[in-house]
Amino acid sequence: RGAMASPLLNAARSSATARRTWLTTTSAASRTRRAPPAPRTRTTRAIASGAEDAFITNAAAAVAAAATSAPPALAPYAPSPLSAEDGLAQLFVCVFILVIGVVGMQTSLVSEDAAREAALEDKVRAQRLAMAGATQSACAGVSAVDMHASDVVSRLRTRGVVRVDEVLSTEASEGLTRFVDETLEANDATTSQRGLSMEVFGNVYCKKNRWDIKLPFEAPVERALRECVKALGEVLREACGADATLVELAALVSDPGSTRQPVHPDTAYRRDPTVYTCFVALQDVARDMGPTLFIPGTNNAQAHVEFREGVERAGPVLERTNEIGVISRGDATLFDSRTLHCGTENESDKRRVLFYFSFQVAGSDNPNAAVSTIRSELRDKFTLAGLLS
């Protein structure tokens, strides 16, 4: 800081010299306009010179003092104490903001769901138009008792879907139906779709009056699964191998008023089959109860190319003959997950429940493995061979 005083003093002296020069110049100019002033005496010059020296000395001292003095210390910041009323007011503001945020989030989610459902409805309308001239028939079936596994598997690989009757007993289907009804009631699912547990309910197209329930491995479920797997054992073993993994275990529920789903595959196309799914009726499924619609022969590359080229709304693939699963209690439709299908609208006054399970071919590329409809504690727990033993 001491080193700063000398330059500052020189600056002050320069300023004084400049001032003296200006005064001299101004004085000379004045003499050209006015009469010359009285001559300065030696005493007058001494007084002026002393005044200038005093100005320079005082200015230099002030500059030096400013350079060496410390700025005044500031008192540390201390917030003023809050009163009880202030605290309550801030709490009210925080709660208000939180409530507004939650309400806004819920409103946004509801709007997104509504927009998604509206888009699906638009897609279904376009597909219906494209399928208006297609021939439709009921799935023809073969009894599980009389079937030849190799013939069934051959049809499954060619057509992508087969019907096999009598794979589940009446007693087992009734027990599982009660279990499904109790699950829906316990979760208050028929009142609202919002807030349903993701561990219990899976995602499903067209949610109105439709639920996809992930089933626990409890007595009614285990009995139904083992009966079906035993009845279809040879077919499943030949189609997907004894080391195939159980990747889905659930029930699809369609109540009166549920709407038609868009035609879709359960898995995007892969060259080789990855997953086989079995839908089993827990009651007779009439035509007006929303039976599943299948488009046979669409488990191949050509069909999926046509489906994509038509933007999943039109094209020759949707004009093909389709079949609907009008089946009886205990009957099943077994299909390749690449096959195009959809749930139709339930225009009856009865609930339709399909018990279903899926096996993944060992070592296959299943794009939906992480989101398949099965409870987390059951994922990768069972193989076909284990359930058949």
What CA–CA distance (Å, rounded) separates 28 from 22?
10
- The alpha carbon of 186 is separated from its chain's Cα centroid by a whole number of angstroms, namely 27
Q: What is the number of H-type helices and E-type strands within the chain?
A: 9, 11
Task: Tell me the per-residue pLDDT of 252-279, one tens digit each, with 9 for 90 and over.
Answer: 999 999 999 999 999 999 999 999 999 9
378: buried, middle or exposed (CB in 10 Å: 19+, 13-18, 0-12)? middle
**383 has a pLDDT exceeding 90:** yes
Q: What angle do CA 332, 336, 340 make, to 5 degrees?
A: 95
How much is the pLDDT for 5? Answer: 44
The yes-or-no verdict on residue 54 having pLDDT over 60 is: yes
Kindly provide the residue ranges of all beta strands, DSSP E only, lying in 134-289, ordered along the sequence. 136-138, 141-143, 161-165, 210-214, 245-254, 275-281
pLDDT in tens, 164-177: 999 999 999 999 99
The secondary structure of residue 32, as a DSSP letter, is H
Please give the average per-residue pLDDT across 156-167, as a whole number. Answer: 97
Average pLDDT, the chain: 85
Q: What pLDDT digit, counting tens, does each position of 80-127 carry?
A: 666 666 667 777 777 778 777 666 655 665 577 788 888 999 999 999
Q: How far is CA 191 from CA 184, 186, 246, in A?
A: 10, 11, 31
Among 206, 214, 168, which Cα is nearest to 333's? 168
Predicted TM-score (pTM) of this structure: 0.73
- pLDDT classification of 2: cutoffs 50, 70, 90: very low
Residue 187: burial class (beta carbons within 10 Å; 0-12, 13-18, 19+)? middle
pLDDT value at position 45? 56
* Of 339, 189, 208, 196, nearest in space to 279 by CA: 339
Q: pLDDT-based confidence at 8, cuts 50/70/90? A: very low
Computed over its alpha carbons, how large is the radius of gyration of the chain? 44
